[in-house]
């Protein structure tokens, strides 16, 4: 995983609550077996008309929000399906951080796993920031994980993140390697599992 330390850039406002992962990346793009290349399909049904032309009403198709590194949006962003493709599509498109009042739990985890930073900021602040971003489209946001703050239009908000996750993101550490260091403890746990638990070998 790439480390996440600090990002400064334009914040694109997407003023709607409950943006589900079906909108972030529609199902027809989940058939691919690759890990990369989902950016062109991000928000596909909102971004393009049926004939494939761009929908110029859609925020991310408007200057200067195209390929903005920060997305500023409503509560419960990334709810619904567990598809990590949603986080991959945002990452591939160039988004580094998503700022919202709240997130779907699975999306939140998926994003952190790949170094895309979800930042929870109080709803009243987000609403104000979205209005400001629309009024003054060129405004930049600073997301500084090292110092632990987000700053927009002169207003600072703390980044609420546990120390463990923060350290992993700053270092770009591989979670699986960390767990594999516990192999002996895992083996000891396995030795005392109840014998009635199911096994799938017989189903092969």
Binding site for another protein (CB under 8 A): 15-18, 20, 22-23, 26-28, 30-35, 45, 50, 74-76, 79-85, 87, 102, 104-107, 109-110, 113-114, 127, 162, 164, 175-176, 178-180, 182-183, 185-186, 189-190, 193-204
Structure tokens that stand for 97 in this block? 């951080």
Strand 155-158 vs strand 149-152: parallel, antiparallel, or unpaired? antiparallel
Residue 168 CA to residue 171 CA, distance in Å, equals 5
- HEC profile for 112-128? HHHCCEEEECCHHHHHH
Sheet order of strands, 149-152 included: 117-120, 97-100, 70-73, 6-14, 140-144, 149-152, 155-158
Give Dmax over CA atoms of the chain in angstroms: 63
Q: Which is nearer to another protein, 9 or 104 (CB)?
A: 104
Find the shortest distance in angstroms from Cβ 125 to another protein: 14
Residues 6 or more apart in contact with residue 128 via CB below 8 angstroms: none
Helix extents (H) in the chain? 21-24, 44-47, 85-93, 105-114, 123-135, 163-171, 175-180, 183-191
Q: How far is the CB of 33 from another protein (least distance, A)?
A: 4
Kindly state the smallest distance separating residue 17's Cβ from another protein, in Å. 6
Cβ proximity to another protein: between 138 and 183 the closer is 183
The residue (of 96 and 168) whose beta carbon lies closer to another protein is 168
**Shortest distance (Å) from residue 84 CB to another protein:** 4
Nearer to another protein, 80 or 137 (CB): 80
Nearer to another protein, 56 or 191 (CB): 191
**Nearest distance from C-beta of residue 156 to another protein, angstroms:** 24
- In degrees rounded to 5, what are phi and psi of residue 100? -155, 160
| 133 contacts 139 by C-beta, under 8 angstroms | yes
The residue (of 9 and 83) whose beta carbon lies closer to another protein is: 83
CB of 8 to another protein, least distance (A): 27
């Amino acid at each position: 995983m790439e480390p996440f330390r600090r990002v400064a850039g334009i914040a694109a406002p997407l003023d709607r609550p409950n943006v589900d992962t079906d909108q972030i990346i529609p199902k027809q793009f989940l058939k691919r077996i690759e890990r990369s290349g989902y950016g062109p399909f991000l928000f596909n049904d909102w971004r393009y008309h049926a004939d494939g032309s761009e929908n110029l009403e859609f925020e991310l198709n408007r200057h200067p929000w195209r390929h903005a590194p920060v997305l500023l949006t409503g509560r419960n962003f990334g709810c619904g399906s567990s598809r990590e493709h949603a986080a991959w599509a945002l990452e591939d498109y160039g988004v580094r951080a998503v700022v919202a009042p709240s997130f779907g739990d699975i999306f939140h985890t998926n994003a952190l796993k790949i170094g895309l930073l979800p930042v929870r900021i109080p709803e009243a602040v987000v609403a104000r920031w979205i209005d400001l971003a629309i009024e003054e489209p060129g405004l930049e946001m600073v997301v500084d994980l090292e110092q632990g703050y987000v700053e927009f239009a002169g207003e600072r908000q703390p980044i609420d993140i546990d120390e463990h996750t923060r350290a992993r993101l700053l270092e770009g550490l591989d979670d699986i390697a960390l767990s594999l260091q516990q192999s002996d403890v895992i083996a000891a746990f396995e030795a005392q599992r109840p014998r009635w638990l199911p096994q799938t070998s017989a189903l092969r």
